[in-house]
Structure 1
Amino acid sequence: MEEAIPEALRRELMSERETAATPARLQDARVALGEDSKAGDRARLAATVRALLWHRRPESTICPSDAARVVGGESWRELMDVAREVAAGLARDGTIVVRQRGEDVDITTAAGPVRLARGPKWDPAGRIDPLA
């Protein structure tokens, strides 16, 4: 599975170049793949969450560990706390919602596994600020 996620992002990056999709989606794919050497782990995790959610049906979810696996590779577990912190920020601004057992939760107080979904301020046109 770890290889499938970056491959999906590579496909996103290539398809964005070919289809002239929004610059924010293209930038998210670049940052998630590590092509922006200035982007730190937090920026890469946020970009990866957004890019992965673009590859799912609108009602689908991802796990914070999916983003951590893309950014951290074999050391992904070391990024889980940071991935949850980044998800908390994305949830605060409404880009995503955090769910546990199908219910919206506050990731800062939720114990155990959570899922991330598109939030009320998710921009269907993909104009989300890639540095948010």
Structure 2
Amino acid sequence: MPAQPPDKTCASCGRRIEWRKKWARSWDEVKYCGSACRSRKVRPVDEQLSETIQSLLASRAAGATICPSEAARAVAAGSGAGSGAGSDADPEAWRELMEPARRAARRLVEAGEVEITQGGKVVDPSTAKGPIRVRRVR
């Protein structure tokens, strides 16, 4: 029996794609873990979240971490027309960006730029559940 090819990472969500027999003929073309990621792809807001995570980390001390919500809040504040302290923008709009912010962090892990931690320990981004923190690679 031939060896399985190595796992890949989804281009959209950053989770691990495990090899499946049904993909044996097209494994080289597989880029997304499922239909939701295939239809979503990487949107401009996803790129903006990745850049925001990197800039927030760059402005902190070397070992400091951020929560993905910080990037989500920053992008939500910057995307609303006239958003800011006194605007009529929805103050909870950042919540819609939480999962995209987590996806952005997972893609940055795959790129080797950041690590995802829980309780101060590096965790597998594909299986991490609950609150996470993001830090630069040590």
1:56 aligns to 2:64 (yes or no)? no
Q: Structure 1 residue 86 and structure 2 residue 115: aligned?
A: no
Percent of paired sites with the same residue? 41
- Other structure's SS at 1:66 match: helix
* Cα distance in 2 for residues equivalent to 1:66 and 1:107: 18
Aligned partner of 1:45: which letter?
L
Moved over 2 A (4+): none
Amino acid in structure 1 at the alignment position of 2:132: V
Which residue number corresponds to residue 86 of structure 2? none
1:98: Cα distance to partner? 0.4
Alignment of 1:66-77 (within 5 A): 66-73=70-77, 74=91, 75-77=93-95
Structure 2 portions without partners, runs of 5+: 1-42, 78-90
Match of 2:130 in 1: 112
Provide the C-alpha distance between the structure 2 equivalents of 1:49 and 1:65, rounded to a whole number of angstroms: 10
- Structure 1 stretches lacking a partner, 5+ long: 1-38, 121-132
Instruction: Write 1 or 2 for the structure with the bigger share of helix.
Output: 1
Which residue of structure 1 aligns with residue 69 of structure 2? Answer: 65
- Residue 95 of structure 1 deviates from its aligned partner by 0.3
Stretch deviating more after TM superposition (57-66 or 103-112): 103-112
Any idea what SS the aligned residue of 1:51 has?
A: helix
Higher alpha-carbon Rg: 2
Residue 111 of structure 1, CA deviation? 1.1
TM-score, normalisation: structure 2 = 0.56
SS in 2 for 1:87: helix
Instruction: Say whether the 8 Å CA contact 1:107–1:114 is kept in structure 2.
Output: no
Measure, in 2, the Cα distance between the counterparts of 1:42 and 1:87.
Answer: 10
Q: CA RMSD in A?
A: 1.4
SS at match of 2:125: coil
